[in-house]
Structure 1
Amino acid sequence: MNTPPPLVPPAIRPPDLPWWPVPALFTVLAVLGGAWGYHSSPIAHGPAWLALPYAVPLAVLAASWLPPSRPGTRVRSLVLGGFGALMALACAHLTTVVLYTVAFVLWAFQGGG
């Protein structure tokens, strides 16, 4: 004899928390971290196209704004938002390291003079 499990009354069930505060918080943190990272790096005085690598952290943050399809996927917003904010903070400095490395390699292979 199979009996269905008892249903929990709506008054006892915990309310669903909204999904959007986590991506909103990480978006604000990414904007602040990205602005601080950009202004504290040497590429801030360069041409505007050097800010192009910020498209990657913005894409990661945009993915964190997708609403969860299941209750277990709320962690996705947390992970993507945190990773996007960290990438935005370090993006300008990583771009500087890459540009200096490319410049050094080009200088070394052209004869060093």
Structure 2
Amino acid sequence: MKATPTPAVPPAEQPLNAPWWLAPALFTVAAALGGAWGYRSCPIVQGSAWPALPYVVPLALVAASWQPSAHRDTRIRGLVLGGVGAWLALVYAHLATFVLCTVAVVLWAFQGGG
């Protein structure tokens, strides 16, 4: 017995897939704007430029969200990576300032309050 082939669905009747690139594009813009705003609104901006180097990590997370995928699990992973990257770009400068101030207070306390 031969199985009868199913007729091909015309392109006009095929369901439209959501554009996979929309979320990564939004995360890229959010990471760039969040990183710029976070860095400029922080007192660390008056220092040298080396504290901006760790912005590579959030941008790498956002870049990983650009990988197109056909499976639902990898789409969700891309959304999570992009969201975490955008959030890290937004809070990194303030987190770095907090850590540097905490280290300064601890060093001041251990050296005798001086």
The TM-score normalised by the length of structure 2 is 0.83
Match of 2:91 in 1: 90
Detail structure 1 runs of 4+ shifted over 4 Å in the superposition: none
Is residue 2:29 matched to residue 1:28? Answer: yes
Gaps of 5+ in 2: none
Taking a change above 3 Å as real, the CA distance of residues 7 and 108 of structure 1, as seen in their structure-2 partners, is: farther
Match of 1:16 in 2: 17
The TM-score normalised by the length of structure 1 is 0.83
Is residue 2:71 matched to residue 1:71? Answer: yes
Match of 2:61 in 1: 60
Aligned alpha-carbon RMSD (Å): 2.2
- Over the matched positions of the two proteins, sequence identity in percent amounts to 62
Gaps of 5+ in 1: none
Taking a change above 3 Å as real, the CA distance of residues 106 and 8 of structure 1, as seen in their structure-2 partners, is: farther
Q: Is the 8 A contact 1:53 1:95 kept in 2?
A: no
Distance across 2 between alignment mates of 1:7 and 1:15: 19
